[in-house]
Amino acid sequence: MREGLIAAGLELARAGGPDAVVLREATRIVGVVPNAAYRHFADRDELLAAVCEAAMARLGDRMAAEVARVPGERGDGDADAAFGRMAAVGMAYLEFAREEPGLFATAYALPDQHPYAVVGATGPDASPLGQLRAGLDELVEVGLLDAGRRTGIEFPVWSTVHGLAVLLGQGPLRAAPEEDRRMLTDRVLGFIGEGLLTAVAAPDA
């Protein structure tokens, strides 16, 4: 039942973002009276928080799937593959934001009282940030990224991609035509590439 409410909330969030996950509607979908939800969640915010986590997990899944499509395996020292996986991490993030704007917005709409968990850890994990870190670590392994520049570099990269996703999805650029979106994406990803890669020519993506 808890699961059902979260699933219903996810459906609502997909269609209309975090504001659309309304408690009464979720219970209606599950086929139960509104107050039943209060057996499983303290209030609407707690339901929303669960839905947000689920949405974030969706984003993580999407990224993992996209990375897995790149030939080769992590740790085999293939620079092309490492670069490809890094690119896949960024592209998957942007594609998810584009194709599932409601879920993307919801993933980052955790209510104030419910703290984000992901940030503290430094090791790689299934979260979007964890996967970004894994990709960057691999770039260092294959020599595409100076080890000295690695520390903390995930934050500028994350900021840049996230900023683009937000500006394109909900921000002032949301009305931009497809052509402009492509150009913007190329420019932004290129900017990140320049900022990351060592002087050596990057393998083309």
Partner DNA sequence: GAGCTAACGTGGACAGTGTCCACTAAGCGC
Partner DNA sequence: GCGCTTAGTGGACACTGTCCACGTTAGCTC
Chain residues that interact with its own copies, rule: CB under 8 A: 19, 108, 110, 115-116, 118-119, 129, 152-153, 155-156, 158-164, 166-167, 170-176, 183-184, 187-188, 190-192, 194-195
DSSP assignment, residue 142?
T
> Smallest distance from the beta carbon of 19 to DNA, in angstroms?
9
Q: What is the token pair recorded at 61? A: 């899944």
Tell me if 149 contacts DNA by CB under 7 A: no
**CB closer to DNA out of 112 and 194:** 112
CA distance 65 to 59: 10
CA distances from 93 to 126, 159, 198, 201 (A): 13, 12, 24, 25
User: Would you tell me how many other CB atoms lie within 10 Å of the CB of residue 101?
Assistant: 18
> Shortest Cβ distance from residue 115 to its own copies (Å)?
5
**How far apart are alpha carbons 164 and 185 in whole angstroms?**
8
For residues 149 and 8, give the distance between their C-alpha atoms in angstroms, rounded to a whole number: 44
Q: Taking the complex as a whole, how short is the minimal distance between the CB of residue 4 and its own copies, in angstroms?
A: 26
Q: Which is nearer to DNA, 15 or 121 (CB)?
A: 15
Shortest distance, CB of residue 84 to its own copies, whole angstroms? 21
Is residue 33 involved in binding DNA (CB under 7 A)?
Answer: yes
CB nearer to DNA: pick between 39 and 179: 39
Q: How many residues bind DNA (CB under 7 A)?
A: 16
H-state helical runs in 69-177: 79-99, 101-107, 128-141, 147-150, 154-169
Q: Are 60 and 67 in contact (CB under 8 A)?
A: no
Nearer to DNA, 54 or 136 (CB): 54
- Which part of the chain contacts DNA (CB under 7 A), choosing from 16-24, 102-110, 122-130, 157-165? 16-24
Binding site for DNA (CB under 7 A): 1, 22-25, 32-36, 38-40, 43-45
